[in-house]
Chains A and B, each alone.
Chain A
Amino acid sequence: MKKTLLLLAAATALAGISAPANAAGMDKVKACFIYVGPVGDFGWSYQHDQGRLFAEEKLGDKLETAYLESVPEGADAERAIERFARSGCNIIFTTSFGYMDQTNKVAKDFPDVKFEHATGYKREHPNVTTYDSRFYQGRYILGQIAAKVSKVGTAGYIASFPIPEVIQGINSFILGAQSVDPDFKLKVIWSNTWFDPGKEADAAKALLDQGADILTQHTDSTAPMQVAAERGAHAFGQASDMYDFGKETQLTAIVDDWGPYYVERISAVLDGTWEQSSTWGGMAEGHVVMAPYTNMPDDVKAMAEETEAKITSGELHPFTGPIMKQDGTEWLADGVVAEDGELAGMNFYVKGVDDKLQQ
C-alpha cells in the first residue's frame, strides 16, 4: 500500500513537472461507459452508446472511449467500475440508477477520476456528478395524446422498477391524460426488469387483454411496440424512435439524446474545467426529444405540439398544483410547482393511477 502511495505521489509529481503549462487540462481523455443492457437493445443503453459515438465523432483524436455492456446492477457493477477506474479512464459514465452506491464507493478510492452517474441523486464525493433528463416532460405529452386517441379510456403502462424516475413518469403520464379526460384510467404492470423482450411482450399482451388500447413502457425493448402492432392497438416508443417496429402503431416516442451532454462533460475534462454538478436537462436543453407525431388526427397532433412548445419554453410544468396524492391528500396547492428535490425522490402515486405502489 505504502509503495503504491509513493508511486502515485511520484507519478503525480512527474505529471506536474512534465505539463506545467497545462496543469489542469489534458491533451487526450479516456471516457468509459457502463451500460445496464446490451448496446443492441435499441432502447436505453443503445441511446447512451449513440451518445458515446456522437462524442467520439465530435472530439476526434482527443477522445478514446471504452464501454462495458450488460453489467448487472448491484455488487457486480462495483467490480466493473473499479476495473475501469484502474485501467486509466479519466471519466466514467455509469448509466443506470442501480449503480448509484457502487459509483460513489469506487469514486472514494479514485479521487482523480471523474464519475458521472445517470439518474441517481447521491454525490458523496467531489468527483461524483449526477445527470438525468426530464423524461417526465415527454410523458405528460404521451398522457395527453393517449387520452385523446384511446377509444376505451384506459392505457397500459409497462414499468420496470419502483424507483423515483419511473414513478415520476407514471404520475406525469396520468396528469397529462387527466388534463384531457379527468376519468382516464391507467393500468400498471411492474416487470421487475429493464430488459427482457419476452416478458415485456407478455406484459403488453396482459394489458391489452384486460382492456387497455394504448401501451406505454418504461422498459427498454421494442417488444411491446410489436405486440401493440399485432393487436391493432397504439403505443409509444421508449428511449429510441421505434417507428419501424410499428409504422401504424407508434404515436410518438420519447427519445433520449445524451450526445450533447457527453461532449460537454468530456470537453470539460479536456479543458480542466470539470466540476461536480447535477444536471437535469429537459426539452429546453435538447436532452429530451419527441419523435414525430404519427398515426393521430391533426387536432391531437396540434395539441401535442402546443404542449411540447409550452414545456420547452417553461410556460408549462407537468407537476403544477392542484395535485392530489393517490390517498386523496393534497400534495401541491393550486399553482404550486413541484421542486426538483421532491421529484427526484418521488415515491407516491398521484390520484387516478389504478395500482398500489409497493415501497
Chain B
Amino acid sequence: MDMTQAIILTIMTAATPLLLAAIGELVVERSGVLNLGVEGMMVMGAVCAFAIAQLTGSAGLGAIGGLIAGMLFSLLFGFLTLTLVANQVATGLALTILGLGLSGMIGESFIGLPGLKLAAVPIPLLSDIPFFGRLLFDQDPIFYTSIIAVIGVNWFLFKSRAGLRLRAIGDSHTSAHALGVKVVRTRYLAVMFGGACAGLAGAHLSIVYTPQWVENMTAGRGWIALALVVFASWRPTRVLAGAYLFGAVSIGQLHAQALGLGIPSQLLSALPYLATIAVLVVISLNRRMTLINTPASLGKSFVPER
C-alpha cells in the first residue's frame, strides 16, 4: 500500500460515518421532518454496536445491533413528534441529550476494553484491480452500505413513485394528505430509516473507525452530518461530495501539519468546515434549484383533519 492509497483510505474512513448519517437525515428532511437528534441516535448506535460485538463476539452482529438501536431510538422521536405532535426542534435536541447520557450509562462497563473490528470483505476479482481495487472493493461492509445508500436514496427519491410521494409530503403535507397519501405513516418510515442510518454510522465509529467505546465518542459528527444535508440542498449526490470533501480537507490538514509547513493549526482545523461550506454554497448558487429542493414543510407539525 503506497502513501496515496493510505491517505485516501483514511479519508474514506473519516467520511463514511458522516455520509451515512447525512443520507439518512436527508430522507427524513425530504419527508418534512427535522430531526436534530442525529448525534444522539449515532452515539446510541455506537454504544450498542460495541456492546453487542463484545457480548456476542461478532462485530457483524454489532453493526446490525447498532443499526437497530438507532432505529428504535428514532421511534421515540417519531412517537413524540408524529403521534403526539410535539415540537420537532425541541424533541430532536432532547433526543441528542438523552442519547449522550443514556449511552454513557449503557457503556459504563465497556470503558477501557479494546473492541472488535469489523473485518474488510474483499469483493472477488474487483478487489484485484490495481490501485482502485484496494480502495473501493476491499472495505468493510458499512462502507459498501454507505455507497449503496446514496445510490439507493437517489433512485428512490427521484425515480420511484414512493419517493415522489415522500417528497410531496415534505413539500406540502396538507395537499399530500388531501390526495390520500399516508403522511404520518410515510414520515414514520422516513424517521426510522434516518435512525437506522445514524445508528449504523455510530456503529462505524465504535467497530471500524476506532474500535473502542468511550463516552461522547461521536464528538459532534451528528451535527456535521445535519449541516451537510442543508448545505447539500437536500441532494444525495451533493451529500456524498460534501462528506468526502469534509473528510479530505480534515485529513489533508493533518498531513499539512505533519509536514511542518507552519500554517497556524487553528486555521487548519477550521478549514474542513470553511471549505465544505464554501464549495456547497457555490454549487447551490442557483437559487431556483435550491428553492425547488428545499422541503417546504420542513419542521412543521402535521395534524390530520378528521
Known: A192-B265, A226-B211. A202 touches B250 (CB 8 A): yes
B14–A38 touching, CB < 8 Å: no
Contact yes or no, A244 B250, CB < 8 A: no
The chain A residue sitting closest to B1, CB to CB, is: A209
Asked if B21 lies at the interface with its beta carbon under 8 angstroms from chain A, I say: no
Docked complex Cα distance between A37 and B104 (Å): 12
What is the bound-complex CA distance between A100 and B53, given in angstroms? 41
Cα–Cα distance between A201 and B257 once the two chains are bound (Å): 15
- B258 pairs with A198, CB closer than 8 A: no
Q: Which residue of A lies closest to B10 (CB)?
A: A205
Contact of A198 among B112, B113, B205, B264 (CB under 8 A): B205
CB pair B258 A38 closer than 8 Å: no
Question: How far apart are the CA atoms of A244 and B111 in the complex, in Å?
Answer: 11
**Residues of B with C-beta under 8 A to A69:** 215
A356 pairs with B10, CB closer than 8 A: no
- For window 203-252 of A, CB contacts with B under 8 Å fall at 203, 205-207, 209-210, 221-223, 226-227, 240, 244-245
Q: Are A205 and B6 in contact (CB under 8 A)?
A: yes
Known contacts A42-B214, A201-B209; is-contact A209 B3 (Cβ 8 Å):
yes
* B66-74, B216-224, B236-244, B280-288 - the one binding chain A: B216-224
* Cross-chain contact A197 with B254 (CB below 8 angstroms): no
Whether the Cβ atoms of A198 and B214 lie closer than 8 Å is no
Whether, in the assembled complex, B255 has its beta carbon less than 8 Å from a beta carbon of chain A, the answer is: yes
* A42 B111 Cβ-Cβ under 8 A: yes
Asked, given contacts A38-B104, A192-B266, whether A197 binds B260 with beta carbons under 8 Å apart, the answer is no
- B114 close to A (CB within 8 Å): yes
Measured CB to CB, the closest approach of chain A to B166, in angstroms, equals 31
Tell yes or no: A188 within 8 A of B by CB: yes
The majority secondary structure among interface residues of chain B is helix
* Among candidates A162, A199, A207, A222, residue contacting B250 with C-beta atoms closer than 8 Å: A199
Q: Is B128 an interface residue (CB 8 A)?
A: no
Distance of A42 Cα from B104 Cα, bound (Å): 13
Interface 0/1 of B194-214, CB less than 8 Å to A:
000000000001000111111
Instruction: State the Cβ distance, A217 to closest chain B Cβ, in Å.
Output: 13
A191 to B112, CA, bound (A): 22
A196 at the interface (CB under 8 A from B): yes
> In the bound complex, do residue B219 and residue A223 qualify as a contact, i.e. CB atoms below 8 Å apart?
no
The interface residues of chain A lying within 8 Å CB-to-CB of B214 are 38, 40-42, 195, 197, 221-222
The answer to whether B212 touches A189 (Cβ under 8 A) is no
CB distance from B157 to the nearest CB of A (A): 29
C-alpha spacing A223/B212, complex, angstroms: 8
Residue A124 at the B interface, CB < 8 A? no
Which residues of the partner chain B approach A193 to less than 8 Å between Cβ atoms? 219
Contact with B along A238-271 (1 / 0, CB 8 A): 0010001100000000000000000000000000
A156 part of interface (Cβ distance < 8 Å): yes
- Minimum CB distance partner of B212 in chain A: A222
Q: For B107, what are the chain A residues with a Cβ–Cβ distance below 8 Å? A: 40
Closest to A209 in B: B6
Assembled-state Cα–Cα distance A187/B111 (Å): 30
> CB-nearest residue of chain A relative to B247?
A202
Q: Please tell me if the beta carbons of A202 and B254 are within 8 angstroms of each other in the complex.
A: yes
B217 with A42: CB separation less than 8 A? no
Complex interface: chain A residues within 8 A of B205 (CB): 197-198
Please name the residue on chain B nearest to A245 by beta carbon: B114
User: B124 interface residue, CB < 8 Å from A?
Assistant: no
Is A112 among interface residues, defined by CB-CB distance under 8 A? no
Instruction: Indicate whether A70 reaches chain B with its CB closer than 8 angstroms.
Output: yes
Given contacts A42-B111, A198-B205, A198-B219, contact A188 B266 (CB under 8 A): no
B210, A244: Cβ atoms under 8 Å? no
Q: Does A57 contact B (CB under 8 A)?
A: no
Answer whether residue A358 sits at the interface, using C-beta atoms and an 8 A cutoff: yes
What is the CA–CA distance of A210 and B220 in the complex, to the nearest angstrom? Answer: 27
Q: Does B262 count as interface, using CB distance less than 8 angstroms?
A: yes
A205 to nearest B CB, angstroms? 5
Q: Do B219 and A197 touch across chains, with their CB atoms under 8 A apart? A: yes
Cβ B112 vs Cβ A189 within 8 A: no
Task: State which of A46, A188, A222 has its C-beta within 8 Å of the C-beta of B257.
Answer: A188
Q: Is the CB of A203 within 8 A of B254?
A: yes
Tell me whether A198 and B210 are in contact (CB under 8 A). Answer: yes
- Tell whether B87 is near chain A: CB-to-CB under 8 Å: no
> In the complex, what distance in Å separates the CA atom of A355 from the CA atom of B221?
29
Residue of B nearest to A42 (CB): B112
**Chain A residues with Cβ under 8 A from B215's Cβ?**
38-41, 69-70
Q: In the bound complex, what is the Cα–Cα distance between A227 and B209 (angstroms)?
A: 9
CB of A40 within 8 A of CB of B14, answer no
CB-defined contacts of A223 to chain B, threshold 8 Å: 210, 212
Contact indicator per residue, chain B 1-26, by CB within 8 Å of chain A (1) or not (0): 00100110010011001000000000
A residues in contact with B221, CB < 8 Å: 198
Contact A156 B113 (CB under 8 A): no
Residues in A lying within 8 Å of B, measured CB to CB: 37-42, 46, 69-70, 156, 162, 187-193, 195-203, 205-207, 209-210, 221-223, 226-227, 240, 244-245, 354-356, 358
26 A-B pairs (CB sep. < 8 Å): A38-B104, A40-B107, A40-B213, A40-B215, A41-B215, A189-B258, A190-B269, A195-B214, A196-B220, A197-B205, A197-B212, A197-B217, A198-B210, A198-B219, A199-B219, A205-B6, A205-B10, A206-B7, A210-B255, A221-B210, A226-B114, A226-B211, A244-B112, A244-B114, A355-B260, A356-B260
Known contacts A206-B254, A354-B260; 13 additional CB pairs below 8 A are: A38-B215, A190-B269, A192-B269, A196-B220, A198-B209, A198-B219, A209-B3, A209-B6, A209-B255, A221-B210, A221-B212, A226-B211, A355-B257
